[in-house]
Amino acid sequence: MKISIKVTPNSKTEGVTKDGDIFFVRVKEPPKEGKANRAVIKLLAGYFKVSPGQVSIIGGYSSRNKNIEIL
């Protein structure tokens, strides 16, 4: 399954919400050295109840708008 997300790093709270076809992901980690991306993968894995190894960023690695593939 492929989804589009919009990430908000440095957020006070963490969570996943959905509006239409886009998921909004808030993480506490800063967008430096891939920390926010790792937090996004971990959070989405918990949301979809899969292992973090089954979640991968396929587009937008350095952008707030990302394309994610979940196996």
For 63, phi then psi, to 5°, come to -115, 160
Per-residue pLDDT tens for 18-56? 988 899 999 999 988 888 999 999 999 999 999 999 999
pLDDT given at position 34: 87
pLDDT given at position 60: 86
Of 1, 37, 4, nearest to 18 by C-alpha is: 4
pLDDT higher than threshold 90 for residue 68: yes
- Residues facing residue 26 across a β-bridge: 8, 15
pLDDT given at position 4: 92
pLDDT given at position 31: 87
Please, what are the domains in the chain?
Answer: 2-70 (3.30.1200.10)
